[in-house]
């Protein structure tokens, strides 16, 4: 396997993070999604991945990108077909909202050896699939819903072995207001800084840790 592994990072800057609408307005969601993406790209690079955005519109960022406005599953499957993954040329698919991800956590996806796995899955809390590393040419994705279970089924159908990465940092995707607590507790990058600058603070007032916004 070459030293650097290609990593596709789906990104939808046109309608970012709608489930955070109760915490952030549209412009803020765009900025915060961009900050999380910056953290993910930096951690991937530090773990020797070579990231490429799969984005619904051009971002102007200093990273290679493919613009594809088809729905997520269709766009990722087109990229998988195009890449034709193999043990010598794997393709990772990593979501852009993993604000706690570290180089060390991403490095766990790309372990070599006999038990490396034809498909490596880092499940998200709640049944999603936050990161994949695909070495099998016939594996295809089916996102949304309990995609983790769907991906286990797809792997079984095409005869691909599965290795699972059980990592709190990869399992924590930032979708809802409560998830912002995790960013303030365990993040150390641009997303954590963005939240602090926007006035978000941890609040342990009633014994349960949550976030409060001290100013708009
Ligand atoms: N290229 C592409 N990326 C997408 C699309 N939908 C979501 N994404 C990205 O896929 C990842 C997971 O997205 P989700 O958390 O399911 O959805 P989201 O759009 O970020 O947020 P919600 O609007 O709250 O569902 C994130 O990196 C998104 O930017 C899409 O249609 N095309
Ligand atoms: C893309 C989707 O993300 P979620 O809706 O679980 O955040 C999934 O992982 O299937």
> % helix / strand / coil in the chain, to the nearest 5?
35, 20, 45
> Pairing relation of β-strands 5-11 and 91-94?
parallel
Is pLDDT at 129 greater than 90 in this prediction?
Answer: yes
Q: Supply the pLDDT for residue 143.
A: 98
Contact indicator for 9, 54 with CB cutoff of 8 Å: yes
Q: What span, in angstroms and rounded, lies between the C-alpha atoms of 81 and 139?
A: 9
Pocket (CB within 6 angstroms of ligand 1): 10-12, 17-19, 54-56, 71-72, 75, 95-97, 173, 175
Q: Is the ipTM of this complex over 0.85?
A: yes
User: Probe ligand 2: pick from 18, 129, 152, 176, max atoms within 8 Å of CB?
Assistant: 129
Question: Residue 148: is its pLDDT beyond 60?
Answer: yes
Q: Are 77 and 154 in contact (CB under 8 A)?
A: no
Tokens (6 digits) for 214: 């001290």
Whose CA is closest to 44, among 115, 78, 94? Answer: 94
CB burial readout 136-161, b (16+ within 10 A) else e: bebbebbbeeebbebbbebbeeeebe
In terms of CATH architecture, what is 5-174?
A: Alpha-Beta Complex (3.90)
- Cβ-based neighbour number of residue 205 at 10 Å: 9
Which residue from 17, 67, 72 has its CB within 8 A of the most atoms of ligand 1, so it is best to mutate?
72
Confidence band of 1 (pLDDT split at 50, 70, 90): very low
User: Residue 97 in contact with residue 33, Cβ under 8 Å?
Assistant: yes
**Average pLDDT estimate for 187-191:** 97
Q: Which ligand lies nearest to the CA atom of residue 72 in the structure?
A: 1
């Amino acid at each position: 396997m070459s030293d650097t592994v290609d990593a596709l990072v789906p990104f939808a800057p046109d309608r970012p993070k709608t489930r955070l609408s109760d915490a952030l307005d549209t412009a803020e969601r765009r900025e915060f999604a961009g900050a999380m993406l910056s953290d993910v790209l930096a951690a991937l690079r530090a773990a020797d991945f070579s990231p490429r955005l799969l984005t619904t519109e051009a971002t102007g960022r200093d990273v290679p990108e493919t613009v594809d406005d088809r729905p997520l599953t269709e766009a990722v499957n087109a990229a998988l077909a195009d890449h034709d993954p193999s043990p010598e040329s794997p393709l990772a698919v990593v979501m852009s909202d993993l604000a706690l991800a570290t180089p060390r956590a991403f490095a766990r996806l790309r372990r070599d050896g006999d038990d490396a796995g034809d498909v490596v899955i880092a499940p998200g809390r709640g049944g999603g699939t936050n990161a994949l590393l695909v070495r099998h040419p016939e594996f295809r994705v089916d996102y949304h819903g309990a995609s983790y279970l769907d991906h286990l089924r797809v792997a079984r159908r095409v005869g691909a072995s599965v290795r699972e990465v059980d990592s709190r940092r990869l399992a924590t995707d930032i979708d809802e207001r409560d998830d912002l607590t995790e960013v303030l507790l365990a993040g150390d990058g641009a997303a954590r800084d963005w939240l602090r600058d926007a006035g978000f603070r941890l609040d342990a007032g009633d014994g349960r840790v949550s976030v409060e916004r001290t100013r708009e």
